């Protein structure tokens, strides 16, 4: 009898231990879930706190990169919206490699690889993580370049995906703010930025070129025989031609470049991180594209564009730089119009 009771007691004790172990295991798992959930919410809170005072896209992406650093060391964060023609890159590196990485990031975003992580071609030891913010529409993505071990990317991809969801609202707010801000800074006829914005951006790009040593090219474009269109075909036709020329030129320049209407039939183009040879190749194409519109007033010469350009020299003032570009444009006019001159 005593032996039977003893066996029963041991069986009950064993079952109790199993239940206790199972309960403890479930409790630990539940506590761990709450801990991870709490950490996740804390990260989201800190992120929104960092972004809350930022209005424009550049400040928003810069703030995200700053917030991300303690969680994940990285060399670069970039964002691009194809539909809004907006992009911004923040890079922590300095020297010649900095510009290489920024150019590489923009190329990745212009022709995005599959969403996720992978090796960066031509940049050993560097990997990318790309998150698509708009899977069902025009490209809108955020990109990070980092040196993390590929083995950790099973955690990295979900983490970046979660943070991208949180970024979506603030980024949309920044883009909406910039849209509203831009309305007051654009030429009403062509939609290009106006003279004031051109001077502001040129000043900013000169400061960057001075600091980082990146090449900077400025071009001045002046339409040939546009007065004949206005005088012989009417100002309504002249306005239509200006809109058409502006749209044609805009399609051929990068999001990072600045095309501005600075006068009646005068335009300026800031080409960032571009050397003279690449600039000349693009400007030749722009010149030809205007000629290919085949616009001609009765009894007059065909519409064209004369383009002068120059590369900024270190420590050169903005006034001297602009004057050199104007002189080059006048040389193009004097040489027969509808051509490009340095």
Residue 311's CATH number: 3.30.70.270
- 218 and 328: one domain? yes
* Residue 171 shares a structural domain with residue 205: no
Residue 147 near residue 135, CB atoms below 8 Å:
no
Instruction: Tell me the residue range of the domain where 329 lies.
Output: 195-341
Q: Is position 42 within any domain?
A: no
Q: Verify that 147 and 220 share a domain, yes or no.
A: no
122 in a domain, yes or no? yes
Q: Which of 183, 205, 233 is the last residue of a domain?
A: 183
Edge-to-edge strands of the sheet including 304-311?
258-261, 266-272, 216-224, 304-311, 340-341
**Which among 158, 183, 208 is the end of a domain?**
183
pLDDT at 181: 82
Helix 318-334 and helix 195-212, axial crossing angle in degrees, nearest 10 = 110
CB 309 within 8 Å of CB 342: yes
Inside any domain, residue 78: yes
Domain end, chosen from 127, 151, 183, is at 183
Per-residue pLDDT at 183: 79
Same domain, 212 and 179: no
**pLDDT score, position 2:** 47
Query: Of 51, 48, 71, whose CA–CA distance to 61 is shortest?
Result: 51
CATH code assigned at 72: 3.30.450.40
- Whether the Cβ atoms of residue 275 and residue 217 lie closer than 8 Å to each other: yes
pTM exceeds 0.85, yes or no: no
> In terms of domains, do 159 and 106 share one?
yes
CA distance 180 to 1: 90
Asked if 153 and 238 sit in the same domain, the reply is no
pLDDT average per 10 residues of sequence, the chain (342 residues): 53 63 66 69 78 87 90 90 89 83 88 79 87 84 82 77 85 88 86 92 92 92 95 94 97 92 96 93 96 93 96 94 97 94 93
Q: Please give the tally of structural domains in the chain.
A: 2
**Residue 13: its pLDDT value, please?**
67
Q: What is the pLDDT of residue 22?
A: 63
CA distances from 37 to 30, 34, 41, 125 (A): 10, 5, 6, 32
Residues 303 and 222 in one domain: yes
* Residue 135: inside a domain: yes
**What does the angle CA 60 – CA 61 – CA 67 come to, to the nearest 5 degrees?**
90
Q: Is residue 15 part of a domain?
A: no
């Amino acid at each position: 009898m005593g032996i039977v009771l003893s066996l029963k007691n041991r069986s009950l004790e064993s079952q109790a231990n199993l239940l206790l172990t199972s309960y403890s295991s479930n409790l630990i798992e539940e506590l761990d879930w709450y801990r991870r959930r709490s950490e996740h919410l804390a990260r989201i809170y800190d992120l929104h706190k960092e972004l809350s005072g930022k209005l424009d896209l550049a400040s928003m992406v810069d703030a995200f990169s700053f917030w991300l650093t303690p969680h994940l060391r990285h060399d670069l964060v970039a964002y691009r919206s194809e539909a809004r023609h907006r992009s911004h890159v923040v890079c922590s590196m300095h020297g010649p490699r900095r510009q290489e990485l920024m150019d590489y990031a923009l190329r990745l975003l212009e022709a995005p690889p599959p969403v996720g992580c992978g090796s960066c071609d031509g940049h050993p030891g560097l990997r990318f993580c790309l998150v698509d913010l708009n899977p069902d529409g025009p490209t809108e993505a955020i990109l990070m370049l980092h040196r993390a071990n590929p083995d950790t990317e099973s955690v990295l991809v979900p983490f970046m995906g979660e943070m991208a969801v949180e970024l979506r609202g603030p980024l949309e707010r920044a883009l909406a703010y910039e849209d509203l801000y831009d309305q007051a800074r654009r030429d009403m006829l062509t939609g290009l930025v106006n003279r004031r914005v051109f001077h502001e951006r040129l000043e900013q790009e000169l400061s960057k070129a001075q600091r980082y040593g990146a090449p900077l090219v400025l071009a001045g474009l002046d339409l040939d025989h546009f007065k004949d269109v206005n005088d012989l075909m009417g100002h309504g036709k002249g306005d239509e031609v200006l809109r058409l020329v502006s749209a044609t030129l805009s399609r051929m320049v990068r999001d990072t470049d600045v095309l501005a209407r600075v006068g009646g039939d005068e335009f300026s183009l800031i080409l960032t991180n571009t050397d003279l040879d690449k600039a000349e190749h693009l400007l030749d194409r722009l010149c030809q594209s205007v000629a290919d519109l085949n616009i001609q007033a009765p009894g007059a010469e065909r519409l064209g564009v004369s383009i002068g350009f120059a590369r900024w020299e270190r420590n050169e003032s903005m006034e001297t730089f602009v004057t050199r570009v104007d002189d080059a444009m006048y040389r193009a006019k004097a040489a027969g119009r509808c051509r490009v001159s340095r």
